[in-house]
Structure 1
Amino acid sequence: MLSAVYGTLLTPSMVSKWSEDEDGKCKLCEERMGNIQHILAGCKVALSQGMYRWRHDKVLKQISEQVVFHCDRRVNKAGDGRQFIDFVPAGRRKAERIAESHEYKLYRYSGLQAEIQAKGWCCYNAAVEVGARGVVAQSLERAARRIGFRGRELKKLVRDSRKEAAHCSRWIYLLSGRKEWEFRKVGA
């Protein structure tokens, strides 16, 4: 993923600079220049095929599993009278625009937060972002600390989220030349 961060991955756009046989266009949409930003987060065909949603859901599943484990082990002790709540995953987000994405998510779920609080529940609106290239925003760490993650647990959550995003983006990059994409439901 380091090559993706520094822009040294071989993309159609890059190859077109030294090869006359390459037009530089994305191999999926064949409309826009096939640079790494477009391949990992901007191709309409990849979006419509569910590639970006797949990556989003895999990272969210990674975070969710660790939060559930943490809550079961540390917070929700048997017989303490607490009710368990199933969390609803966030909707789509703009790729690699972490600050904009964070504000959008907070706004999007502010109505739900107010509705929950009006019913007497304690609720915090904590949006988290993990970029397509494995950049983990501070929002994930802040949200995790708020629910009691500390030390090794917190480092593992951040590390595993980063690795999952990078792993999925690697597959999106490797498959960026294939027109077919078989969407597989996460966890299936």
Structure 2
Amino acid sequence: MINKSLRRWFGLPSCMTSIGLYNRTGMLQLPLSSIVEEYKVSKARLVLTLRDSSDMSIRNAGIEVRTGRRWSASNAVEQAESRLRHQDIVGTSCQGRQGLGLNTRQPWSSATTVQRRELVQSEIRKEEEEIRKVKAVQMGSQGSWTKWQTTGRKLSWTDIWKYQFFQLQFLIRAVYDVLPTPANLQRWGLIETAECTLCGGRATLDHILSSCKEALAQGRYRWRHDQVLREVADTLERHKKKARVHAGAKHINFVPAGTVMKGTKGGHPSILDGTNDWELRADLMKQLQFPDIVHTTLRPDIVMVSGKTKKIILVELTVPWEERCTQAHERKKAKYEDLVQECREAGWRAWNYPIEVGCRGFPAPSLEKMFQDMGIEGQARKLAIKKVSQAAERSSSWLWLRRNASSWKPSTNG
């Protein structure tokens, strides 16, 4: 009943899986908690509270926590404790591209009673999340997000209240591919054919948002690309004015012996540091002219040049289908590798940054890496990535609204 009400509140179809509402490690995380998960955690907490009570009579009373036949709280607590002891033997492991020592955890052997209670509850939540993820992997279209090599997005209640209803509905339904595309309507038995109204191909969500040849020829995808590129260029334009110019030797503070000084957290080294004569050129409104360093017919989306330090930065943006971000990165990296090498042979220090932002608003790690190397840190970097993601998402929602229109007219407000 709760799942049905939540789907109706978000404007989602009944066929959408409840995993999209409650997952905590997926690409799109909503601020919702599963009542089944909360029930299991509360029952496990009750078992631990009774078992570890400071009152001897309560510990020896043999109180049984009833939970039904499908699931036993006592068994779940025993399994969670067994896994936690096993993790002490295995040690802390890294996932994906995490470096050694990045993750830390509280060992079970040295944990207090309160800490053990929290560890068991956390382990039960992890088990529930693992069950959800296993089910998602087994799904076809609704579980395709498990293959994405992009950065996830976590929506707060504040974000949800700020969203327009259609925009939020489009985002959730696009991630889980439950939008009423002709391919889905045919699968649901509502129409007979799934032809694209523009080119006649099979109109899946992938086809409509990133693969239609007629939409590409009309400039629809180029318009979306320019909307995202404008956000990236504006961010870099604002930040290049803040580039630090190091003058003279670094000041060293000497302190008396035995004095403990509070360390200052140094910022990430930035390519833009050392000069303030950066010139940014973006392939917007008019055709970009490559600087007179080498002769080339290639036109990167953004070129940043510093004549004093002889530095040049190339940024090439792609807005692909999320599952093809890795292929797009390798293709664009190879495309500009020779140009970067020619700039270096001409005596310039050159960098090549192919970046990808999924057409549904999920950026690849390359975007964060580029902002980090430019010296954009902390909250400023998070805000910049958020704006770029929203630009791609809003543009794709407009393309979705105009999917059946034979003539293309871009949105005037972007």
TM range (shorter): 0.7 to 0.9
- 1:173 partnered with 2:173: no
Contact 2:318 2:355 in 1 (8 A): no
The code of the aligned residue for 1:162 comes to S
- Structure 2 regions of 5+ residues with no counterpart? 1-170, 246-271, 283-299, 302-315
Q: Which runs of 4+ in 1 moved over 4 A?
A: 91-94, 183-187
The structure with higher relative contact order (CA 8 Å, sep 6+) is: 1
* Counterpart residue type for residue 173 of structure 2: S
SS of 2:189's partner is: coil
> Is 1:24 aligned to 2:194, yes or no?
yes
Aligned to 1:86: 281
Pick one of 239, 242, 250 that aligns with 1:70. 239
- DSSP 3-state at the match of 1:123: strand
Give distance in 2, aligned partners of 1:92 and 1:155.
20
Identity value in percent: 31
Q: What is the match of residue 41 of structure 1?
A: 210
Aligned residue number for residue 11 of structure 1: 181
For residues 154 and 8 of structure 1, the distance between their equivalents in structure 2, rounded to whole angstroms, comes to 32
**In structure 2, do the counterparts of structure 1 residues 47 and 75 end up closer, same or farther at CA, with 3 Å as the change threshold?**
farther
1:126 match: secondary structure: strand
Offset at residue 60 of structure 1 (A): 1.0
SS of corresponding position for 1:159: helix
Distance 1:5 1:81 in 2: 42
Q: Where does residue 118 of structure 1 map in the other structure?
A: 345
**Structure 1 position 91, deviation (Å):** 7.2
Superposition deviation, residue 133 in structure 1: 1.0
Q: Kindly indicate whether the alpha-carbon contact (under 8 Å) linking 1:41 and 1:95 is maintained by their aligned counterparts in 2.
A: yes
SS at the partner of 2:243?
helix
The residue that corresponds to 1:108 in the other structure is 335
Q: Name the residue aligned to 2:127.
A: none
Q: Distance between the aligned counterparts of 2:189 and 2:319, measured in 1? A: 35
Find 1:155's aligned residue among 382, 385, 392.
382
Following the alignment from structure 1 to structure 2, what is the Cα–Cα distance between the partners of residues 23 and 81?
59
Instruction: Judge conservation of contact 2:321–2:358 (CA < 8 Å) in 1.
Output: yes
TM-score (norm 2): 0.41
Instruction: State the distance in 1 between where 2:330 and 2:390 align.
Output: 24
Give 1:15's aligned amino acid.
L
Read off the aligned partner of 2:333 and give its amino acid letter.
Answer: L
Number of equivalenced pairs: 183
Query: What RMSD in Å do the two structures reach over aligned CA positions?
Result: 2.5
Alpha-carbon distance change, 186 to 54 in structure 1, aligned in 2, over 3 angstroms: farther
